[in-house]
């Protein structure tokens, strides 16, 4: 045989021997992701979004021995905020980066295998930095969204484009930043753009072809589709919206959703109604029953994954007027008495517990200290408004240009924003990243213009306390009691993870990646990453060792929208580095 052919065959054999083997991710593997320990296949480390690992190799006694294994730089000038959650499968880690990039990395060495950069057009309109929160994996493909409101399927082995589909028109203010959700062979996506008068929607596509199966707008009056034909209207036209305002009603589904396998329900949150000026959306009508609620904005919505039909809804902030989006994640859990429930920590400052069967309200408690817009939540789950703390109606001002300014707490960035909380199956507690801040806010006249900001409000964010803004709290979902609190000078803007080893992992804008004792909040380990952490940690095991990864790279909404708070943290450095740590075998038993 020709010696060149022999050499080529030998080289191919060596390459195949070291290359990752792609077996294709199944629905069964996705369903079992929360229990598996050798990979991370879903955003949330399980589609219930508990972000709890059953691994115990790394624990309170030996976490001090956790050391860096490798670091991967996203490189170049394209840094900004890095909010991704890594996925790990068959020896490969997948992360997304700012400006709609996706990387495949050898998980053993940190070496890049391939990179995909979306070709973003001029004129994209991202509200809150050029971030991306992660990917999804199914079959032989990996999926992620782009800032020009598209969803892309790539071959997981090569990075080649399998299909590329349009979610919405970016020129109208739409974008997409969340990690997609895979359920029964469907790729489920939301949309972003709530500050541009868009309409929130959930879409389901065939994972293999990218063809749309169903769509479900989340503002009443809009029609859904099923298999290319109109299906049913969302809600009832003009039941809670005056005139034609429902046509540009907001409600962006920008954080993505969760999947409750027990009830076969997708649970998505809908963002703020548009415009922010609630007086315009009430149009002078009395607030009787649901007249001014503006459904289904600022709500959690249960959806049938096969058809896109709405099963139930729970509106956290009816007649919303402070930008208290209702998108925050809904986590399925079982309480200490064995009851199946949902929990969600809303931007409005209240921690809610709902029934898993029908989304009905069970209880709510404050998880931040200074809530000014409501005095509490009544027995039905509706807020008890403090009307004098609602921004004033500009139409009633002397010049009609600016309504009465009020101080409202929490700020429009929320008691909790996008940053995901975690639930420990061991302690039964939720670990909630929150921020203690308020804002001066006022309303202004506004007219809708396609592709332009559609707020009708002005605002300035202010810290509520001198010594801290960020606050990680351990909350009992049975009582609402705070078991402990970790205070941080800068706002917390990254995700939380907890483990069966008794640890709570999270990062700070100051660059510290920490592990706390899940029972006491005591700091057990920390590592300085060199840039602010606004990403989401994960953990898995490989070759008998436990690994932890998190991305570091300061950015997101705070430095863009943070008012006085942005000035307080303007010294923080941007970056873009994925850090991976391991507990060496020989140190696993060390105290």
16-28 CB burial, b ≥16 within 10 A, e <16: eeeebebeebeee
Selecting among 39, 129, 148, 323, the annotated active-site residue is: 323
The single residue listed with the structure tokens 């078991």 is 483
Angle at 139 between CA 137 and CA 141, to 5 degrees: 55
Angle at 56 between CA 51 and CA 62, to 5 degrees: 115
Residue 312 marked in a binding site: no
CB 68 within 8 A of CB 519: no
Is 262 designated active site? Answer: no
Taking the C-alpha atoms of residue 10 and residue 4, their distance in angstroms, rounded to an integer, is: 10
Residues 81, 559, 268, 236, Cα dihedral to 10°:
-140
CB 372 within 8 A of CB 438: yes
Tell me whether residue 543 is exposed, middle or buried, using C-beta atoms within 10 angstroms of its C-beta: 0 to 12, 13 to 18, 19 or more.
Answer: exposed
Task: List all residues 6 or more positions away from 182 whose beta carbon is below 8 Å from its beta carbon.
Answer: 27, 30, 42, 136, 137, 138, 143, 188, 207
Taking the C-alpha atoms of residue 449 and residue 171, their distance in angstroms, rounded to an integer, is: 12
Taking the C-alpha atoms of residue 385 and residue 361, their distance in angstroms, rounded to an integer, is: 18
Residue 417 marked in a binding site: yes
Of 502, 424, 524, 527, residue with least CA distance to 45 = 424
Of 176, 190, 155, 362, residue with least CA distance to 267 = 190
Residue 195 marked in a binding site: yes
Residue 355 marked in a binding site: no
Taking the C-alpha atoms of residue 561 and residue 126, their distance in angstroms, rounded to an integer, is: 13
What 3-state class would DSSP assign to 458?
strand
Can you read off the two tokens belonging to residue 43?
A: 């955003």
Instruction: Count CB atoms within 10 A of the CB of residue 552.
Output: 28
Pairing of strands 52-53, 497-499: parallel
Which residues pair with residue 358 across a beta bridge? none
Can you read off the two tokens belonging to residue 475?
A: 């909350």
Residue 83 marked in a binding site: yes
Residue 323 marked in a binding site: yes
Tell me whether residue 503 is exposed, middle or buried, using C-beta atoms within 10 angstroms of its C-beta: 0 to 12, 13 to 18, 19 or more.
Answer: buried
Taking the C-alpha atoms of residue 368 and residue 414, their distance in angstroms, rounded to an integer, is: 10
What 3-state class would DSSP assign to 309?
coil
Residue 238 marked in a binding site: no
What 3-state class would DSSP assign to 516?
strand
Q: Which positions are annotated as active-site residues?
A: 323
Q: Residue positions in the annotated binding site?
A: 83, 133, 177, 195, 272, 323, 417-418
């Amino acid at each position: 045989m020709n010696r060149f052919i022999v050499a080529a065959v030998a080289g191919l054999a060596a390459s195949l021997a070291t290359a990752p083997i792609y077996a294709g991710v199944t629905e069964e593997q996705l369903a079992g992701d929360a229990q598996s320990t050798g990979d991370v296949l879903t955003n949330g480390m399980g589609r219930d979004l508990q972000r709890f690992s059953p691994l115990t190799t790394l624990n309170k006694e030996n976490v001090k021995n956790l050391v860096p294994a490798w670091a991967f730089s996203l490189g170049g000038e394209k840094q900004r905020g890095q909010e991704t959650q890594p996925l790990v499968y068959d020896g490969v880690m997948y992360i997304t980066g700012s400006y709609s990039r996706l990387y495949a990395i050898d998980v053993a060495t940190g070496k890049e295998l391939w990179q995909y950069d979306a070709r973003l057009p001029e004129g994209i309109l991202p509200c809150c930095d050029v971030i991306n929160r992660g990917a999804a994996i199914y079959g032989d493909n990996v999926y992620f969204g782009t800032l020009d409101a598209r969803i892309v399927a790539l071959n997981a082995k090569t990075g080649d484009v399998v299909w590329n589909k349009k979610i919405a028109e970016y020129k109208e203010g739409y974008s997409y930043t969340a990690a997609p959700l895979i359920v029964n062979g469907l790729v489920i996506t939301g949309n972003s753009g709530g500050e541009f008068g868009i309409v929130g929607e959930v879409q389901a596509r065939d994972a293999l072809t990218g063809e749309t199966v169903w769509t479900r707008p989340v503002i009443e009056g809009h029609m859904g589709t099923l298999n290319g034909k109109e299906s049913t209207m969302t809600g009832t036209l003009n039941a809670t919206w005056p005139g034609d305002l429902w046509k540009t009603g907001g409600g962006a589904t920008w954080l993505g959703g969760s999947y409750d396998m027990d009830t076969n329900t997708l649970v998505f949150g809908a963002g703020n109604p548009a415009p922010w000026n609630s007086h315009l959306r009430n149009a002078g009508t009395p607030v009787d029953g649901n007249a001014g609620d503006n459904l289904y904005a600022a709500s959690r919505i249960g959806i049938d994954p096969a058809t896109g039909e709405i099963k139930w809804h729970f509106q956290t902030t009816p007649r919303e007027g402070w930008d208290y989006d209702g998108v925050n994640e809904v986590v399925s859990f079982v309480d200490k008495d064995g009851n199946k429930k949902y929990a969600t920590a809303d931007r409005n400052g209240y921690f809610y517990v709902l029934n898993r069967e029908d989304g009905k309200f069970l209880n709510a408690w404050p998880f931040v200290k200074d809530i000014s817009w409501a005095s509490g939540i009544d027995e039905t789950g509706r807020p008890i408004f403090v009307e004098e703390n609602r921004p004033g109606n500009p139409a009633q001002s002397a010049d009609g240009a600016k309504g009465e300014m009020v101080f409202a707490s929490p700020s429009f960035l929320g008691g909790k924003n996008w940053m995901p909380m975690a639930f420990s199956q061991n302690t039964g507690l939720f670990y909630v990243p929150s921020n203690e801040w308020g804002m001066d806010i006022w309303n202004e006249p506004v007219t809708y213009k396609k592709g332009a900001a559609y707020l009708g409000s002005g605002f300035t964010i202010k810290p509520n306390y001198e010594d801290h803004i960020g606050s990680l709290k351990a909350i009992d979902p049975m009582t609402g009691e705070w078991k402990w609190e970790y205070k941080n000078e800068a706002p917390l803007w990254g995700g939380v993870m907890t483990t069966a080893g008794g640890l709570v992992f999270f990062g700070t804008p100051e660059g510290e990646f920490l592990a706390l004792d899940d029972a006491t909040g005591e700091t057990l380990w920390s590592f300085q990453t060199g840039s602010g952490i606004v990403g989401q940690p994960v953990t898995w095991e490989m070759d008998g060792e436990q690994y932890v990864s998190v991305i570091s790279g300061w950015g997101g909404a705070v430095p863009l929208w943070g008012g006085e708070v942005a000035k307080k943290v303007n010294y923080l450095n941007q970056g873009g580095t994925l850090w991976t740590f391991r507990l060496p075998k020989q140190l696993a038993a060390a105290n």
